[in-house]
Chain A
Amino acid sequence: MSARLGFIMLVHTALDRAAQVARFVAASGSPIVIHVDARVSATDHAAFKTALSDLPDLRFARRHRCEWGTWSLVAAMQSAARQMLDEFPKVERVYSMSGACLPLRPIADLEAWLRRHPDSDFIESVNVADVNWTKGGLSDERFTLHFPIGFKRNKWLFDRLVDAQRLMRVKRELPDGLTPHIGSQWWCLTRQTLDAILRDPMTPHYERYFKRVWIPDESYFQTLVRLHARRIESRSPTLGKFDHQGRPHVFYDDHLQLLRRSECFMARKVWHGADRLYEHFLTPREGGVSGAEPQPSRIDRHFARATLQRIRGRAGLYMASRFPVKNRENGKTAEPYSVFQGFTEVFQDFEGWLAAVASCRVHGHLFAPHKAEFAGREKIFTGGLSDNATLRDYNPRAFLTNLLWSTRGERQCFQFGPADTQGHRFDLLSFMASDSNAQISVISGAWAVPLYLSGKDSTEVRREAARLQRIETRMLEILQSPDVRARIRIWTMAEFLENPAEPLHLLFDEIAPHSQARLLRLPDLVDLGGFGTFLQELRNQGMQPVLMGDFPLNPTSPDPSHRMK
């Protein structure tokens, strides 16, 4: 067994786990120096020492009282590193780890790997000017302001001190020759480099500076190594990513396979209760030294996905722990969908035709006053949505977002119109208009066709026509307002009927770009023979139907043999 790789270990909680890991490391013959936080109680410390007293090459470093983000952590590392170099002259490299680190492969593998990279110092060391991953807002200010107290001791005072110094434009001078670098505090340095850092004649000067830097344990060695190393491999030998708030990801039993396949040497940090992980990785393994290269990318992706879900969330999802305020949704709905207004009115069986030619789910008027007309007129639809109108109208917007969330992967199309539920102050249409997933197509004035066909008494028709025209006017205003994000197309009825093929073709290119071959025939138009006269009748009654455009008194219907394309 060679003893050329030494470990320094910082411990402050879960001492039993730290002892287990120390024992595993020591079993490979590597010396180890442990720093136990001075805040650990005397009894716990004594028990910890006793538990490890049988290990010959294990030392305890002078204890410092450690506070996160402050110099005390660097002081602890310095003491432990000094002791390691002094007491174990054969040690050629020093690896810094914490009590919550877990070796994933035999130490012999790590040593073999390090031997393949002679003279290299493995330490993440990134120029602070190029860093975009410092969490919590402070990057170069870590070095240019004074930080006399730790964040955890008094958050309020910490923030006020930063504010005050910003106001006073404080800018500390860096010691000559130093370029601030930051990176993970879990590194592996060669004796030569570490010794040079610890013995640097300028050390007192540097220390004075770094004692007032924020989180110096992420910058002291990372900066000084730039002065002394022969060859820097700027990456941490320890697998350990940080989340969006700068906290380390934690490994649990269910990460066993991920960790095994990563071929990394050391993981941080591991939950102290992860029995399976500790048992698996601390059981000595048979077989020779493996030369596999560490592959942390799979684990990185796993955690990157989780972080993304925490920060961005899933588009179109509204639930107990995700309820974005307006315009912070990162996607108001889950999937693109199409809203047709006026199409069922001018075409015969538009729904059936659409369902046949485009592979998407085609509903009727989802927001019809009496009930939600789901495709196939189901009573309970996907997700448990009921067709009950009262239930739907209790929160129509949630009805829509629920439907689109539950049917992810299948485009939804539905009919809409001025006779339908609009929600409180046209809330529903405003929502759809501001949603970039929505494709809204309107044939304005088409609501008059069912009235024309109803054969109802003319006063009643007149009143209803006036009401629908008022609502649709308001709807068109919303659709034409400047802040819409939906794809909106509006034709007057007269315009549309002049050549229905062209608009339909346009829409289909968007809904089903690959199904053009099947677009053989237009749906049949409703017989509008007397519609012009009907409109004139409304005018005669004193109403002014305008939204359908200039509809001729006796329209010539489009050529029935008309084909798209």
Chain B
Amino acid sequence: MGPAAQIIQALNWRRRRQQRLARALRKRRELALLVNRTEAIRPRDILLFCTLRNEAARLPYFLRHYRALGVRHFLIVDNASTDGSREMLAEQPDVSLWHTQASYREARFGMDWLQGLLMKYGHGHWCVTVDADELLIYPHHLTRPLPALTDWLEAEGESVFGALMLDLYPKGPITAQRYTPGQDPSEVLTHYDTGNYTITRKPDTQALWIQGGPRSRAFFADTPQRGPTLTKIPLVKWHWRYLYLNSTHTLLPRHLNRIYDDAGGEKLSGVLLHSKFLPEVSAKSAEEKHRHEHFGAPKDFAPYYDALVAGPDLWAPHSTLYRGWQQLEAEGLMSRGGWG
């Protein structure tokens, strides 16, 4: 690509980013503020942003996990929950809560809403942006809370932290398990796949596109291109100009996608433990199949929902029992980089 073409491309990306940001500002109107505790936010606090719907079962552990890691304030958009999630969140002393009945899909799967909040409250903070079924872990997370991590990243000159989304699943049919709210999901979802991930680099954004894991082998074996995207950039030192382009998979400006070393070395990275496959997934999938609020072309994913509703068993003889971050680090699913 010539220099002129590069400039044009860069301008195009900028325009796209600006349009999306403008759209996010418009979409702020869809949010109704329920509880505002944002005055409690202090300059170096780590913030967490999340959109959710009916996550009453996951929330107790979710809040506990991130509080233990050092998140100081939660900014949450509730998308029409009917299971008491909203009431539970409103009572938490470190949660600010917004509510909307609008379409999740129309708001770019909730990202437009979060984008507006990030712009207003996230600027200058390290911000965790995750779903309610994603638990961030990283090397040494039990002894070094998020402020230790972000101090280190800042000293390294980094403003982003990448993670692989790792699907956890139980041994036996999904629906045959029992989960009690407040329980660590990895006690029920005990297994994961260690080494069936494929990576390509997207030429336009330089972002990595990681796919694979149990969902790819069990549900998308014949249409691997539809397999879930597992690249995530859940922790960013936010600037109001930044934009999550596509869920938390890709960021703009494009240089923020360089969560990897391309000269052979390893950067520090983490894992998002994905607790999608708790027993409630099959009931939720039945609902989602009809709501059409997920995926760009929801009809293509009807077989996927059907498979989930049936309560499949994702376990295979080579599934690995989850034992903690040291194991994930040794297996190369995350890396300590130079953080010894």
Contacts and interface: CB of A to CB of B under 8 A. Distances in A.
A314 B335 CA distance: 10
Given A384-B319, A385-B195, A406-B195, A323 B338 contact: no
A380 B335 contact: no
With most chain A CB atoms within 10 A of its CB, the pick from B265, B269, B339 is B265
A321 B318 contact: no
A321 B335 contact: yes
B117 to A, nearest CB: 26
Interface stretch (A58-66, A119-127, A300-308, A482-490): A300-308
Contacts of B335: 309, 319, 321-322
A321 B266 contact: yes
Contacts of A254: 140, 143-144
Contact of B266 (A244, A245, A322, A391): A322
A394 interface: yes
Interface stretch (A34-42, A86-94, A324-332, A470-478): A324-332
A390 B196 contact: no
Interface in A220-259: 243-245, 247, 249-250, 252-254
B111 to A, nearest CB: 20
A321 B198 contact: no
Interface string B196-237: 111111000000101001101100111111000001000000
A517 interface: no
Nearest to B200: A395
B162 to A, nearest CB: 5
Nearest to A313: B266
B130 to A, nearest CB: 15
B199 A318 contact: yes
Nearest to A383: B195
A313 B148 CA distance: 23
A422 interface: no
A298 to B, nearest CB: 12
Given A250-B152, A271-B151, A317 B332 contact: yes
A358 B201 CA distance: 38
Contacts of A244: 338
Interface string B247-285: 000000000000111111111110000000000000000
B156 A247 contact: yes
Given A391-B216, A394-B225, A312 B195 contact: no
Interface in B149-175: 151-152, 155-156, 162-164
B3 interface: no
A452 interface: no
B333 interface: yes
B81 interface: no
A328 B264 contact: yes
A271 B150 CA distance: 12
Given A306-B339, A319-B269, A390 B147 contact: no
A322 B195 contact: no
A186 interface: no
B144 A253 contact: yes
Nearest to A386: B217
With most chain A CB atoms within 10 A of its CB, the pick from B144, B196, B199 is B196
Nearest to A248: B155
Interface string A316-359: 01111111110011100000000000000000000000000000
Contacts of B334: 319-321
A290 interface: no
Contact of A310 (B201, B222, B333, B338): B338
Chain B, interface SS category:
loop
A390 B224 contact: yes
B33 interface: no
A382 interface: yes
Interface string A435-465: 0000000000000000000000000000000
Interface in B72-99: none
B337 interface: yes
Interface string B133-147: 000000010011101
Contact of A323 (B193, B208, B337): B208
Interface string B292-318: 000000000000000000000000111
A384 B195 CA distance: 6
B190 interface: no
Given A309-B338, A310-B265, A310-B338, A319 B199 contact: yes
Contact of B210 (A320, A380, A388): A320
B53 interface: no
B148 A320 contact: no
Nearest to B140: A254
A283 to B, nearest CB: 19
Given A253-B143, A321-B259, A321-B337, A384 B196 contact: yes
Given A384-B214, A394-B224, A394-B225, A310 B337 contact: yes
A306 B267 contact: no
Given A324-B262, A328-B263, A303 B340 contact: yes
A273 interface: yes
A406 B259 CA distance: 23
A311 B265 contact: yes
A329 B316 CA distance: 31
B336 interface: yes
Nearest to B329: A309
A415 to B, nearest CB: 21
B259 A320 contact: yes
Nearest to B317: A380
A55 to B, nearest CB: 29
A378 B152 CA distance: 44
B103 interface: no
B160 to A, nearest CB: 11
Contacts of B266: 309-310, 313-314, 317, 319, 321-322
Given A271-B151, A380-B318, A321 B268 contact: yes
A307 B197 contact: no
B194 interface: yes
Given A250-B155, A320-B162, 19 more contacts: A252-B148, A254-B144, A306-B339, A309-B337, A310-B266, A313-B265, A319-B334, A320-B210, A322-B265, A322-B332, A380-B318, A384-B195, A384-B196, A388-B221, A390-B221, A398-B198, A398-B199, A402-B198, A405-B195
7 A-B pairs with the lowest CB-CB distances in the bound complex, closest first: A383-B195, A306-B340, A384-B193, A310-B338, A321-B269, A406-B195, A394-B224
7 contacts: A250-B152, A252-B148, A314-B266, A321-B259, A384-B318, A391-B220, A405-B195
Interface of A: 243-245, 247, 249-250, 252-254, 271, 273-274, 302-303, 305-307, 309-314, 317-325, 328-330, 378-386, 388, 390-391, 394-395, 398-399, 402-403, 405-406
